[in-house]
A and B are shown apart, each in its own frame.
Chain A
Amino acid sequence: MGIGMQAERVTVALLLLTIGWAACAQTTWDEAASRLRAASLAPEQVTAILERARAHGLDPRVAGPWAARAAGLAQDGIPSAILGERISQGLAKAVPVGRLESALADLDANVRWVNGLLDRITARAERRDNPGQTELALRAGEAALRAGLSRDQLERALGRRPVTLEQAVVFSQTASSLLAAGVSVADVIKALEGPAKAGISAAEMQRLERRFVAELAGGRTPDEAFEDFRSELGATMRDRVNGPGSDVREGMRRQLGHEMRDTMRETLGGPGGGAHMGVGAGAGAGGSPGASGAAPGRARAGNR
């Protein structure tokens, strides 16, 4: 009877311990979720991240540094979703936690640097009025760095001069697009630096990148497609000798408008102010950012 009662007590104690442990674990995952949500990550993204982390048997405390990093980005006005997506990708690919953390540190540093670059080369008013475009420029810059450009090379690819957000997006995307196809970094910089300094518009560059990608999809080799890209770019540059086209003049007008608004805000002491912008010849042009052609390889894209 004594042994039976003891066994019963041990069973009850084990049961209580299990319940207590489960409750504590749940609380910790809940805390992790709260911290990630507080860092401006979307609830569905938080759910997906934590579900994967649990599925991999990770400790909930692993989310602490992620939340801190995301909160830091959000505090500096950088969308933390970019970080959340990288966490999701890393967990999906079962990347070890150490390597994931290291990749997040790189992403954090790069996206902050791109943000600083945008602060220097684009008008503050334009960034404030176009948060979607600003996020696209951050993503494009980070992708260009990930594609193989150094920070200095990315600055060179953007011409080291004031640009519109559209130009920042398109030039960064064009650089990473060329690199993704296997064009060397040196060739990419050589091809983009001059046109960027000359203020080739976003629309013009977008058209050329779209054609480059379409040629790849059409079966041309990267070398052939890049040769065409360079040749077309050269022709565009030569055309510009005759003076800026209407799209370039429109870009200049918009750039000047943004700068005037910044200056007025600074003078009147209002919010915003402070972007130091010069107006370069032919800065920016209309048109959507980015370029597109056909889908690569056998991922076929077509309008239906």
Chain B
Amino acid sequence: MNEGTSEGDRRLEAWLADAPRVAPSAAFRAQVMGALARRRAGPVRHFLFSPRILKWNFAGLAGAFAVALLAVGIAWTLQPSVDPGPDAARVVKVRFVLDRPGASAVSLAGDFTGWKTRVALERQADGTWQAELRLAPGEYEYAFVVDDDQWIQDPSATRFRNDGFGGRNAVLLVPGVNGDRNAG
């Protein structure tokens, strides 16, 4: 029995001696150290301070990137869309009025809108159309657009200028808060 055991021990010893030696991975060390730490520290301390190994692959990375992108997009969408406009401290409110009771829509376009007809005037009870804009001090050319395709000059403007295409634009001069004008 002893002989058999000794023979077995020797064979095991020889097998172990010939077996390739493998260095433990960093993860293994971390796990061991983590287990040791768990024994010494409380669960909160362990949770906060025990070392961790981040395992990653490209799919996981792409997923994380997508989530981050989505979060940024949502934050961007939800941010308040307040545009203080140019030189917010000096902008001046300007009211535009057009007396055109028969119109079904009136908008305003000028160099302050990049000539986009995106400022819609609101119909008032008295039949006039009005809009209020906040403009920085300066000189502007503008026109009204009635029913989406009829460009007309402001009939109550006092100054007009050739628009370069054979028509005319009304000219608006917005005074500064202290009477001055933006230098651009």
Contacts and interface: CB of A to CB of B under 8 A. Distances in A.
A and B interact physically:
yes
Interface of A: 44-45, 48, 85-86, 88-95, 99-100, 103, 106-107, 130, 132-133, 135-136, 143, 146-148, 173, 176-177, 179-181, 206, 210, 213, 216-217, 222, 287-304
B100 to A, nearest CB: 12
B102 interface: no
Given A292-B173, A292-B174, A92 B117 contact: yes
Contacts of B183: 130, 132-133, 136, 288-289
Given A93-B165, A99-B166, A132-B183, A297 B174 contact: no
B167 A93 contact: yes
B179 A133 contact: no
B157 A135 contact: no
A290 B159 contact: no
A130 B151 CA distance: 36
Given A89-B115, A210-B179, A217-B158, A300 B94 contact: yes
A218 B151 CA distance: 26
- Interface residues of B, dominant DSSP: loop
Contacts, number: 162
Given A88-B114, A290-B139, 11 more contacts: A88-B115, A89-B164, A100-B165, A177-B173, A287-B180, A297-B157, A298-B98, A298-B154, A300-B97, A302-B94, A304-B92
B176 to A, nearest CB: 6
A292 B95 contact: no
Nearest to B154: A297
A297 B173 CA distance: 11
B72 to A, nearest CB: 21
A304 B92 CA distance: 7
Interface in B134-184: 135, 137-139, 142, 149, 151, 154-167, 170-177, 179-184
Contacts of A100: 165
A206 B175 CA distance: 11
26 contacts: A85-B115, A86-B164, A88-B114, A89-B163, A92-B116, A95-B165, A99-B165, A133-B183, A180-B159, A181-B158, A206-B180, A206-B181, A288-B183, A290-B180, A292-B181, A295-B94, A295-B172, A296-B158, A296-B173, A298-B98, A300-B97, A301-B135, A302-B93, A302-B94, A303-B92, A303-B177
A289 B181 contact: yes
Nearest to A131: B184
A146 B164 contact: yes
Contacts of A296: 154, 156-159, 170-173
Nearest to A304: B93
A147 B111 contact: no
A166 to B, nearest CB: 8
B173 A293 contact: yes
Contact of B159 (A45, A216, A288, A302): A216
B47 interface: no
Contact of A222 (B151, B158, B163, B176): B158
Contact of A292 (B142, B151, B175): B175
Contacts of B156: 296-299
Given A143-B161, A287-B180, A293-B175, A301 B93 contact: yes
A180 B164 contact: no
Contacts of A94: 149
B6 to A, nearest CB: 84
Closest 5 CB pairs of A and B: A297-B156, A180-B159, A292-B175, A290-B181, A288-B180
